[in-house]
Amino acid sequence: MPTEQPPFFVVGVDRSGTTLLRLVLDRGDVAIPPESMFLADFAPVRRAGGLDDPDAAAAFMERVWSHPRVRAWNLPGSPPQVPLGLTHEQAYRYAVEAPFRAYSKGEGKERFGDKTPPYLHAVDELLAIWAEARVVVLVRDARAVAHSIVKLPFGPNNAYAAAEWWVRGIRAGLEAERRHPGQVLTVRYEDLVTEPEATVRRVCDHVRLGYNSGMLAIEDASPGKIVPEQAEWYSGVSKPISAAVGDRWRTEMSEEDQRLVAAVAGPELRELGYETPDGSVPVPRSRALAYTTHDAALRAVNAFRLRIVQERGRELRYVLKRKLAGARG
């Protein structure tokens, strides 16, 4: 069922500033909840069909409403009933829109957006649901991303693994922009923090959202916009927009790791306008294997700590399915 104003999606490799951009845009006439992930989790349902059956549609709505990411939004009441007489495509869209609409209503807004970095690999899926949607791909220097991500309990655990992971994401984003010209916009994090007004205006024009200067005052955003157990991962977004955080890798990251990332991600860095050192050499196979083995071992440990200990298994079933499908969540 068509909406008056289609949603938009902010995607990108993790630690590329998507949370910062979410908080900026959320201060406009749109509500952007914490990361959803269920659009990827329920993609097989969309492809399978069958929701033209009212009982199947009602059951699916209950599944959507009980998804752990949706429960974290603390939506009031029960899910709405799916209207009768809808096609499968209409019923699916109605069901997956319902949590976003309920969240927006709670925020006193009519339009919704989404910020879920792994949807970088699911742009076609998003546009299959909302044909007129817009997508913003936020990119950031691979060295800054690597420096940040290895400190967290998800994602790659060394500079080599982070560079390979970043390259895969960048390639996916650039390919999405090539496939969907006019609907997918690539924006550099560095431009966002050094020229925030011009960059945010450009993003607003793309997603058809009105701009106001108050959008840049993210330090005034409610702390409740961040999931409490993830607050320490996003401490920087409670402060005014600044380029200082993005430059820390230059002084805090070892020269060896900087060269390693540049050796792996050099072509993509240069395509996006980032400077790279001259004379980068390929990483020897033996070193690459060592880095990959180290990363795999730590991922297993971190996954247990995050998914079993911290989250108490609430999302484990979906996480395992995402891993099999190749998506981070």
Could you report the per-residue pLDDT of 300-317, keeping only the tens digit for each? 888 877 787 777 778 887
**For range 20-44, the mean pLDDT:** 96
How confident is the model over 95-113, as pLDDT tens digits? Answer: 999 999 999 999 999 999 9
- Structural domains in the chain, CATH included, are 8-32+113-281 (3.40.50.300)
Q: Is the pLDDT of residue 140 over 90?
A: yes
> Residue 231: is its pLDDT beyond 70?
no
207 and 136 Cβ atoms separated by less than 8 Å: yes
pLDDT tens digit sequence for 155-205: 899 999 999 999 999 999 999 999 999 999 999 999 999 999 999 999 999
pLDDT for residue 76 is more than 80: yes
Tell me the range of 16-20, 225-229, 244-248, 274-278 where mean pLDDT is highest. 16-20
Mean pLDDT of the chain: 92
pTM (2 decimals)?
Answer: 0.92
Q: Flag whether pLDDT at 3 surpasses 60.
A: no
